[in-house]
Structure formats: structure tokens, C-alpha cells
Amino acid sequence: MTGVKKTGFPKRSHPNRARSFLVWLVLFLFVGLLVLDILVDRIPETTIIKVNDPAFWDLKEVYTQRLSEVRSKGGQSVLMLGSSKTQFGFRGETVEAAMGGDSTGNPLAFGFGLPGMGPLYQWTCAKRLEKMGLLPDIVLLEVHGALFVNDPGNGQGISRQLGWLPRDRVLAKEWMDYRSFGVSTIPQGGMGPEWYEDRFALLSPLRILVQSMDSGPKKPRGAIDRWGGPRLPTDTDTEDPRVKTLYNLDKTREEYAEMVGKPHRGSGSPLEPKDVAGPGWVALKRTIEFLRKNGCRVILVRMPEGPAFRSWYAPNLAQVEAKKFRSFLLPEAKDWIDAREWFEEDKFWDSNHLNPKGAQIFSERLAREILWVANDDK
Amino acid sequence: MQFTSLDFALFFAVVFTAHWLLPRGDGRTCWLLGASILFYASWSIPLAFLVCATGLLNFVVGLCLDRLGKTSRQVDELKSPHPTDGPNPVARQILLITSITGNLGLLCYFKYANFFLDSLKSVLVAQGVSSQIPVLDILVPFGISFYTFEVISYTIDVYHRRIRAERNPVRFLLFILFFPHLIAGPIVRAGDFLPQVDRIGRLSLMRVGLGVRLFILGMFKKLAISDNMALFSDPVFDHPDLYRGSALGLGLLAFAIRIWADFSGYSDMAIGCAHLLGYRLTKNFNFPYLALNISDFWRRWHISLSTWFRDYLFLPLGGSRGPFITTVRNLMVTMSLAGLWHGAHWSYVLWGVVHGLMLVLHRGFSILVRGYPRMVWALDTIPGKFARWAITLLLIVLSWSLFQPDLTRSITLLQRLFTWAPGEVLPMTRFYLWVTVGLVMVGHLCASRRWMNRIWKRTPAPLGGLVFALLLICALVLAPSRNRVFIYFQF
């Protein structure tokens, strides 16, 4: 204690100080989280989306501008809502031209493709667009068979469906919707952070530092063309390493093999549609109903897959899916475009994402199909 | 079960509560051992059995070494400089060699078999011989490099009679399997750990406070610093051929920060957990990026490993006692093996060799400089120290380019960095990288000073609580969307 007096340190009882430290730590932790929660609630939702989901916001900005131009001329608008398959496969300019578009960009064909967009996130995006008054005349909804197959036998179904959900970009309020789709817990191993997700989703706006550093989507901001597609550093179908790196394509085949092909390897049989159910189905059905209620024509598009990718499914999956999709679309059950087997491997980067040549042909054919579906009503 | 996961938080809460509720003695030891086995089994049950079995085998070897020496009662008095003294010196030597060979054999099989087979295949192909050498499908046990070194050090210490062989298998297995240090160290010595098992008394709030502080600090380093720096370094290390020289330099700098924050963060969390359970583990880091020379760096970086190599390899080889050429040989052998310890790839070996060469150069320079007192004086001035620090840091950062499992990518990275090749820029904002670099360096400078400790002791408890609550909140808020496992888990 003499030393303590000499250096002028306050006389303390160390165990008491340690106890006091722990108590204050817990208290400040609790108060800190509470304060952050209150602050976050005061931030407008659009600001939260802007910060927390910059990829969505960037696309929305371009789309808003294009849509306002077309609306001012009374033109028609087509929006394709999907994942990176849409991002790479849907060429808006080609669809516009094939639909008889003029030089002023009427009709508008816009690809709203965001990596990792499964049916749950499609629902979220549709709701956000509706709130912002940005719903188009026709919505093409990308559907992906693997996301709807629920195989409870090996417990992969739900986690596969939720695997296609960029969890860290979804707001806490939006999570509440998912609970009504049957999502009770957040599975491990999907996209986004782990255990603090639930609690700290509320703190999303404060992750501004991280979001601007995060290379997650591998898409530098501003690299979107007027139709929502990526500005690729190449216009050829060669395996350009720059594209593969920027968009993480060199890992996707491996990831999908893990996600889709696991039952194939594990059980020795392809992915079986034993139980086509789960949150994915519910979300898709609700999205269709929601969009129709808001005056949109909904067309489901089963995106192209290469032979390697297709081999992971049981042969009868396509029929089961088609039947189910059509039942969703009633009474307009024909609003269903199955492009799954349109192409061979040479039109893909990785058996899953279309390369520029594949995207060009796909978009031309898709436009013809849209016209056929739309004209069939008359 | 990562330290940053909810699973671990729940697991630790149960272990901590039950540990302190149980009466002192074997009950607590058994409980901690059971928890440690469960912790390991959460990754792989068969591998948990393997680790237990090899641990028990080493326990028996220790007992045999003790029995054959017949001097265990006089260990403290004996202090013999000739460990082969005793009635069965040859048998003890054979047992020691068998034990070390067996442990290293297991390590080699699990960790290095494919590396050696690949190397053999490459040699055969280079000679024009076609070979059908298979790739073995081996699951590498987590932390095998760490616990192998722990059991080897134990066996050698028992052989040299520095410690007595442990008679209780539960205590011995706890020394090997104690979950805070099991996966990625620090590498503990039996002489430090085993005496603590009996000394665990009542729960000390001071230790709990210290443990909590260390755990939060480690979590901050891992989630807020390391995982964010990975966003800069990963693209560069994955595709060095795509990025321009400046991007490669920044990526390398980010990796230097990342690996420090990742491993020292893990060590802090491990030491913090141990404190919460009443144990004290070896300090593993001491502000390594403040090192003034490469020898200094190795006294500050992964201290438990560097001291292990010093005590069980470098010194037995002769250390630096002989002529300069012998010291060079000893340094090169030690550092090459230290490199190989990190990973079964030539790039890690080369990393070790490069560090060995730097140590040799430093030693040569030190000898040379001794004859020039003015030079010694100049190097001790503030500008001299700054120059030594800057050169050391530059060399260390450059050497991290080899710290990845692909030599071709390392060479490409260095080649493009030194030729300042054109290419892509980093897609992220550099501002945050520089902010982190600045914070880490300021943190190093402040925390390494003694006055910092004095300030902490004078800090009122509420302020201390506020600081650490903010650190924890920042760690959770700033953690990027993709969680990354600790780098040293792979070793």
C-alpha cells in the first residue's frame, strides 16, 4: 500500500474493483444495445436499405430512372426478378429490341438480378418495390428447382432453401414475414453472419463501414448497365478470368455441387422431389398473389441449366415442378416458361450462369416467349 | 465450435458454471476433461478418440520413462546434467526415441503424407517417370501440430527429469485436451500446466475480470480487425495475377494485420477462457510488429512455438554456442522445420527458410557491428531505431507473401509487386485499410508502454466497463457478413 500512496494511486480493493468492472460492463452492454436499437428505429427504412443492401439500392436507382422515362411516355415495363442467373442471363437491350422497342427505350426490359436471390428474398424485393411505387406491368420471376425440393430424409431441404437468402441484407422487420412462411430458425452455413444475426440485424445501419468494405457480391458499385446487367470487362464467351474473379464464378460450381448435388453423392441417387414444400414454396405463392393483387402480370421463368447441373436432379423433378408451378399460377397456368434445357454447356460460364453468347440467345428467345404468352390472351 | 459462435457461448456458460459449482479436486478435473472431449468431438468423434488414445499412450510412456529411471523420488535433488544416468539408460533412450518417432509419425501421416506423395510424384514426373501415386483421403485432426508438440515436450522433459511423470491419466489428458488451447495453442508445457490443476481454488473475481477483458479483446481483434482485413487480402492472395502492384502491396499489408489480429485474437480468447476457469496459459504475443530486428520479432511472435523450437531443437542442436557456421546450420534447420510445421506446402517451408536467412543475416550483422562503436551508438538513437523497425517490418510483411498454400501464387505476387505490374485495383475503399493500419500501430505503441498499465489500474471501473462494452459492441457490429475460421485452425 505504501507504493500505492507514493504514486498517488487511489486505494482500492481489487476484488471489489473487478466486481464493479463486471457489473458496469454488463450494464453498459445492455444500455448500449438498447440505445442502438432505439436509434435504429428512428432511421427511415429506405436509408436502412440503402446502407444495408447497397446492391439492391444500386439496381433500384438505375431502374427508377428508366421506369420514370418509360412511364412518362405511357410505355410498358417488364422486370425480371432473380438471382445471379438473371444478372448474367437477362439482357434487357435484347429483350427490348425483340419486343419491338424503339430508340427511346419503350418498352422497358430490366433485369433485377442480385446474387443469392431465392424465393424469400424475391418476396422482400417485391414488397420493397411496391412500397417505393416501382412495380412494373410484367414481372418475370426466376424459379430454381433445387430451392423448392424439401427432402426431410437428410435434413437438407430447408437449409438449402434458406441457403439462397442474403440474410445480412434483410432487415429485421422483413424477417418477421419469413416466420409466417415457416422459417423458425436461421440455419448455419448460409449467407450472412451467424449467431448475432437475429439480435444485431437491427444494428444494420451501423455496419456502414463494413458494407462499403465488403466484397461480398464481388460487384464494384457503379458497374451496372442501363438494363440492370453487369458491365462485363469482356463481350466474348471465353473464360475470362476477370469475370470469374469479379463475380466469384470460379467457385460457384463447387458451391452448387455442395448445395444441390449433396444428396446426389450422399445417397447415390439424384435429388428427388419427395416433398415439394417448405418456406420457398410458400414465399413464391405469396409473391405471385401479392404482385397480381398490385396489378402485375406474373410469368415464372425456369432458368437454363447446363447438362452437368441438370444431372443432379431426378428426371421427374421437372414435371413435378411444372405441375406445381402451374397450380400456383391458376387461372393463368400458361404463364410459365421452362428454359431449363435450352442450352448445352458451351453457353455457360459454369453450367449455371449464362455467358454473353448464351445470354444473347436466351434473351431473344425469352422475349419471343413473353410476347407469345402476352398475345395469347388476345 | 468456434470461439465466436453462439454454440461456444452456451457451451462455455455451462462449463464455467458447473466447474465452479463442483467441489475442488478430481470432480472439477473430470468435468473439464469431459467438456474438452465434447468440444473436440463436436468436430469429429473418431478424431476425438484418436487424440485420447494417443494421449493415453504418451501417458504410459511417461510412466515407463520414470520407472526405468528409478530416480523419480529424487528428481528435485538430482538435477543431473546426464539424463541417461540410472540403471536403464539405453532402454530409456529407446523409449524416448520410439515415443518421439511415433508422435511425429502420426503427425506426418495425417498432415504431411499427401505433401510428401505429391513431392515424390513431381520428382518422378520431372525425371520422366510416369507414376500412379494416389492422393490419400485423410481428415487431418484439428490442432494435431499443437498437441503433438505438447506431448513431445512432456516426454522429453520427463526423460531429462525436468518434471516427474504424471501419475493421474485424467490430469494428463486434461493437459493435452484442455479446450481453450487444444485447437490452436498456445503450446503449453506440462511443467507449467499440471501444477495448476491442484491449485484451482475459489473463483477469483479478479481473474474473471481479466478473462472477460482478454476474451472481448480477442473477439474484437478477430471480428472487427482480422475478418475485415481479409476482405482486402483474400482477393489479392487468391488471384495475384489480376491485380496491379499497388493493390498487391495493400493486400499484403492487410494480410500482415489480419494474421496478427486473427492469431493473437485467438490466443487472447484462449487465455481469457483459461483465466475464467482458473488456469493460466503461456503468453503468445508481445506486440510483434514493434520488433526492432528479426530475432526480436521471433521473441514476440507465437512465443509458445518459438520457445518450443528453441528449447527442443535449436539448443539441442548446439544453439549459437559453436562457430558461426554451426549457428547458421542450426538456425536454418530450426526455421525450415518451423516453416514446415505451419503447413504441408513448399511455400511454408520457403517462408521458414526466408526467416532463417533473415536471422542469419541479422546475427552476422550484429557480429560485424560490434567492431564499430559509433555504428552501435547510431543504431541506438531514435532515427536508428526507427530505421531498424521500418526495415524489419518491411521484410516481415514481404515474407507473409509466402504464407499461403500455393508457391506459384506467392511467386506471382512478389513478381508483380516488384515490377509494379498493371492490373485491377482493389474494389474496396482503401481509406478503411489505412484507418485500421493506423489504429493497430497506435494500439501497439500505446499498449506496449508501461504507463498504459498504470493508466488502466487508475481507470475507474465504470469507465473500464464502458470501454470493454463498446469493444464488444463494435466487434459484433463491424463483423463482416461472412465469418471466417481462425487461420491457425488449419495448422
Cis bond before residue A107 (omega within 30° of 0)? yes
Output the average pLDDT for chain B.
84
**Three-state secondary-structure class, residue A269:** coil
State whether B481 and A33 contact (CB < 8 Å).
no
Helix (H) or strand (E) holding B273: helix B245-276
**Three-state secondary-structure class, residue B215:** helix
Cβ contacts (< 8 Å) between A23 and chain B: which residues?
A: 461, 465
Q: Are B356 and B376 in contact (CB under 8 A)?
A: no
E strand residue ranges, B99-155: none
Output the average pLDDT for chain A.
71
- Whole-complex ipTM: 0.75
Residue to substitute from A210, A234, A254, interface B, most B β-carbons within 10 A? A210
Side-chain-facing half-sphere of B106: CA atoms under 13 Å: 23
A94 to chain B nearest CA, in Å?
29
Question: Residue A215's pLDDT is what?
Answer: 38
Q: Does position A165 have pLDDT exceeding 70, yes or no? A: no
Query: Percentage of residues in chain B with pLDDT exceeding 70?
Result: 91
Q: Does position B362 have pLDDT exceeding 90, yes or no? A: yes
Cell of A231: 458491365
Amino acid in position A69: E
- Residue B445 vs residues B216, B264, B301, B393: alpha-carbon distances, Å: 20, 16, 16, 14
Question: Residue B196's pLDDT is what?
Answer: 87
* DSSP classification of residue B310: I
State whether A193 and B479 contact (CB < 8 Å).
yes
Cβ contacts (< 8 Å) between B483 and chain A: which residues?
A: 193-194
pLDDT band at residue A268 using 50, 70 and 90 as cut-offs: very low
- Report the C-alpha gap between B298 and B307 in whole angstroms: 9
What is the full DSSP assignment across B63-78? HHHHHHHT-GGGHHHH
Q: The sheet that has A297-302: what strands, in order across it?
A: A108-113, A77-82, A138-143, A297-302, A336-338
Q: What is the pLDDT of residues B115-148, one digit of tens each?
A: 777 777 777 777 777 667 676 666 777 788 888 8
Q: Which of B275, B302, B342, B362 is catalytic?
A: B342
Q: Are B427 and B243 in contact (CB under 8 A)?
A: no
pLDDT band at residue A250 using 50, 70 and 90 as cut-offs: low
Q: What is the pLDDT of residues B164-218, one digit of tens each?
A: 888 889 999 999 889 898 877 788 888 888 888 888 778 888 889 889 999 999 9
State whether B469 and A22 contact (CB < 8 Å).
no
Q: Looking at the partner chain, which of A18, A36, A195 has a beta carbon nearest the beta carbon of B5?
A: A195
Question: Residue B392's pLDDT is what?
Answer: 93
Q: Which residue has the higher pLDDT, B459 or B487?
A: B459
Task: Please report where in the chains the cell 504464407 appears, as a residue.
Answer: B403
Of A327-336, B342-351, B430-439, highest mean pLDDT: B342-351
State whether A15 and B205 contact (CB < 8 Å).
yes
Question: Residue A163's pLDDT is what?
Answer: 57
Question: Residue B297's pLDDT is what?
Answer: 93
pLDDT band at residue A161 using 50, 70 and 90 as cut-offs: low
Side-chain-facing half-sphere of B203: CA atoms under 13 Å: 17
* DSSP classification of residue B449: S
Pairing label, strands A138-143, A108-113? unpaired
Sign of the CA dihedral running B375, B380, B386, B388: positive
Q: Which residue has the higher pLDDT, B293 or A178?
A: B293
- Report the C-alpha gap between B302 and B323 in whole angstroms: 28
Cis bond before residue B87 (omega within 30° of 0)? no
Query: Residue A140 — φ and ψ, nearest 5°?
Result: -95, 115
Neighbours of B455 (CB within 10 A): 11
Nearest Cα neighbor of B360 from B406, B293, B405, B424 is B293
Cβ contacts (< 8 Å) between B231 and chain A: which residues?
A: 213-215
- Crossing angle of helices B227-238 and B245-276, in 10° steps, is 140
State whether B469 and A28 contact (CB < 8 Å).
yes
State whether B468 and A25 contact (CB < 8 Å).
yes
Mean pLDDT of the region A63-73: 87
- A59's CB contacts (< 8 A; 6+ apart) are A112, A114, A224, A228
Q: Are B292 and B392 in contact (CB under 8 A)?
A: yes
Nearest Cα neighbor of B133 from B113, B106, B104 is B113
- Report the C-alpha gap between A36 and A30 in whole angstroms: 10
Q: Are A137 and B450 in contact (CB under 8 A)?
A: no
Q: Which residue has the higher pLDDT, B261 or B423?
A: B261
Tally of residues, chain B: 491
**Residue numbers of B between 351 and 370 with CB closer than 8 Å to A:** none
B455 interfaces chain A, CB cutoff of 8 Å? no
Q: Looking at the partner chain, which of B210, B469, B478 has a beta carbon nearest the beta carbon of A25?
A: B469
Q: What is the pLDDT of residues B367-384, one digit of tens each?
A: 888 888 888 888 889 899
B19 is catalytic: no
Cell of B419: 515490377
Question: Residue A241's pLDDT is what?
Answer: 58
Q: Which residue has the higher pLDDT, A145 or A29?
A: A29
- Report the C-alpha gap between A55 and B111 in whole angstroms: 41
Rounded to the nearest angstrom, the gap between the alpha carbon of residue A333 and the centroid of all alpha carbons in its chain is 25
- Report the C-alpha gap between A220 and A224 in whole angstroms: 9
Helix (H) or strand (E) holding A262: helix A262-267
Q: Are B400 and B255 in contact (CB under 8 A)?
A: yes
Domain ranges of chain A: 1-42, 45-376
Which long-range contacts (C-beta less than 8 Å, at least 24 apart) are formed by B405-408? B405/B343, B405/B345, B405/B347, B405/B348, B406/B345, B406/B347, B407/B345, B407/B346, B407/B347, B407/B350
Least confident of A38-42, A53-57, B437-441: A38-42
Question: Residue A152's pLDDT is what?
Answer: 47
Q: What is the pLDDT of residues B245-259, one digit of tens each?
A: 888 898 899 999 999
Mean pLDDT of the region A330-339: 75
Mean pLDDT of the region B314-320: 86
What is the full DSSP assignment across A90-118? --HHHHHHHTT--TT--SEEEEEE-TT--
Of A13-27, A279-293, A304-318, highest mean pLDDT: A279-293
Q: Looking at the partner chain, which of A24, A32, A216 has a beta carbon nearest the beta carbon of B462?
A: A24
- Report the C-alpha gap between A229 and A303 in whole angstroms: 16
- Residue B196 vs residues B151, B174, B189, B390: alpha-carbon distances, Å: 17, 11, 12, 41
Question: Residue B261's pLDDT is what?
Answer: 92
- Report the C-alpha gap between A182 and A195 in whole angstroms: 19
Pairing label, strands A108-113, A77-82? parallel
- Residue B2 vs residues A55, A195, B111, B209: alpha-carbon distances, Å: 30, 11, 21, 22
State whether B473 and A24 contact (CB < 8 Å).
no
pLDDT band at residue A210 using 50, 70 and 90 as cut-offs: very low
A21 to chain B nearest CA, in Å?
5
Nearest Cα neighbor of A186 from A255, A252, A120, A273 is A120
Question: Residue A11's pLDDT is what?
Answer: 46
Q: What is the pLDDT of residues B38-92, one digit of tens each?
A: 988 887 888 888 888 888 888 888 888 888 776 544 544 445 555 555 667 788 8
Q: Are A370 and A140 in contact (CB under 8 A)?
A: yes
Amino acid in position A289: E
Query: Residue A110 — φ and ψ, nearest 5°?
Result: -125, 130
